[in-house]
């Protein structure tokens, strides 16, 4: 057991068990630095942080500490498209080629917006190697994306578009937004600013790197202590062999080692759904605004109803990339199988590499956010996140 750190922040009456679970993550599950937040609409119920933002455990994690949240930012990208749908700029059921004609090349003319954002398009990998610095040339990138051939028949299976989904979402949004904004700018102006969420897709030059926690990979004996049950052996084998859907989906574009993500040349690039940097409070504020229908987000009630609806795609549960059972719905994950979250099937959210997580629980009106700097190995259900969200739901529904 590790010593318990000082826990900072506030917890509303009745949510003390969340603070207990947060403390146990440090004493029993190898947490270095982390934050957890829960909002009921726009009201904070839990806002806690503790530990350190560096590997040497010398620099304290503070209230406004930021950290890369990787695919937890996919939910933020999904919300940007929900705004566009609410404004009549997009239709989830329309072909992507309606808005982006070049996308229809190589048999993609019938792929709908819903199929694209629900990881069914077969575009989880790119044939052309794309480097990090090439992502800034949106016109050239759009040509690469449009020219890609699907890896499977679209709409028949799903496989996590880990690195590519946000790129496709960004170009689609740029095509339909009357101002032609990038997804990162759209998110900042239409969502983050509205709810005062401290989360960026493309780190502004004005944000100092000193605010951002350094990530730590789990290595050596710590794998045995904390992660052995979660090691993704099949994915690792495909990546090592340089073949299969996992290899194609997880190695191009090439972001570099995840533990090195705390560097400006990576975070300053707008890579939607991949390199968002923020904190638990920001995730909880956005999801809380959606779940509690505060009116702060420019998303209509009909679209919020759609986000909370059950996923109904008639395709197998097996994810071709992650080799697990999962379901996606309008750009979000849904509670399914062994990976369950929220108080009922209406809950929706996205997880991030290493363990971060944010979700909306429409049944209770709660938004949840968790961020940390020790990178766990679980594909979906990191034990630290699970401990926290289960405590939240117990407190909210007892």
How many CB atoms neighbour CB 344 within 10 A?
Answer: 14
Rounded to 10 deg, the angle between the 74-86 and 301-308 helix axes is 140
Stretch (H or E) spanning 280: helix 280-291
Under a CB-based contact definition with an 8 Å cutoff, are residues 372 and 384 in contact? yes
Rounded to 10 deg, the angle between the 138-147 and 165-176 helix axes is 110
DSSP state of 133: G
Closest to 119 (Cα-Cα) out of 385, 334, 300 = 334
**Which region holds residue 389: left if phi is over 0, alpha if psi is between -120 and 50, else beta?**
alpha
Stretch (H or E) spanning 141: helix 138-147
User: In which residue are the tokens 């990090």 written?
Assistant: 132
Length of the chain: 398
Q: Which of 71, 72, 216, 246 is catalytic?
A: 71
Rounded to 10 deg, the angle between the 165-176 and 74-86 helix axes is 20
Q: Judge whether 71 counts as a catalytic residue.
A: yes
Rounded to 10 deg, the angle between the 383-397 and 16-28 helix axes is 160
How many CB atoms neighbour CB 80 within 10 A?
Answer: 25
Closest to 243 (Cα-Cα) out of 253, 256, 234 = 234
DSSP string, 308-327: HSPP---S-SBBTTT-SB--
Closest to 383 (Cα-Cα) out of 367, 370, 397 = 370
Q: Which residues are catalytic?
A: 71
């Amino acid at each position: 057991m590790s010593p318990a750190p000082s826990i900072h922040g506030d917890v509303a009456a009745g949510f003390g068990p969340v603070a207990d679970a947060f403390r146990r993550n440090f004493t029993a599950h190898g947490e270095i630095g982390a934050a957890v937040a829960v909002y009921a609409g726009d009201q904070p119920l839990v806002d806690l942080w503790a530990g350190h933002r560096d590997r040497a455990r010398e620099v304290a994690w503070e209230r406004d500490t930021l950290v890369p949240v990787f695919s937890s930012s996919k939910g933020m990208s999904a919300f940007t498209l929900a705004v566009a749908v609410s404004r009549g700029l997009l239709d989830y059921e329309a072909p992507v080629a309606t808005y982006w004609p070049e996308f229809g090349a190589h048999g993609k003319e019938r792929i709908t917006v819903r199929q694209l954002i629900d990881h069914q398009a077969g575009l989880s990998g790119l044939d052309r190697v794309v480097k990090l610095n090439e992502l800034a040339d949106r016109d050239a990138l759009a040509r690469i994306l449009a020219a890609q051939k699907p890896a499977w028949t679209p709409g028949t299976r799903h496989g996590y578009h880990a690195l590519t989904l946000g790129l496709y979402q960004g170009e689609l949004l740029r095509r339909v937004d009357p101002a032609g904004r990038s997804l990162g700018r759209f998110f900042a102006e239409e969502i983050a600013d509205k709810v005062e969420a401290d989360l960026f897709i493309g780190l502004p030059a004005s944000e100092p790197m000193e605010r951002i926690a350094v990530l730590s990979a789990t290595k050596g004996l710590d794998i045995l202590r904390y992660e052995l049950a979660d090691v993704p052996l099949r994915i690792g084998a495909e990546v090592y062999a340089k073949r299969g859907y996992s290899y194609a989906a997880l190695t191009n574009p090439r972001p570099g080692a995840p533990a090195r993500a705390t560097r400006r040349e990576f975070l300053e690039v707008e890579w939607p759904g991949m390199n968002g940097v923020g904190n638990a409070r920001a995730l909880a504020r956005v999801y809380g605004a959606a779940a509690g229908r505060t009116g702060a987000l420019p998303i209509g009630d009909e679209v919020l109803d759609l986000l909370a609806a059950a996923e109904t795609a008639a395709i197998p549960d097996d994810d071709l990339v992650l080799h697990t059972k999962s379901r996606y719905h309008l750009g979000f994950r849904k509670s399914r199988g062994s990976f369950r979250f929220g108080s009922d099937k209406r809950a929706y959210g996205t997880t991030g590499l290493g363990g971060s997580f944010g979700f909306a629980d429409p049944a209770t009106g709660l938004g949840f956010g968790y961020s940390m700097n020790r990178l766990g190995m679980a594909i979906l259900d990191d034990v630290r996140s699970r401990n926290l969200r289960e405590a939240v739901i117990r407190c909210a529904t007892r």
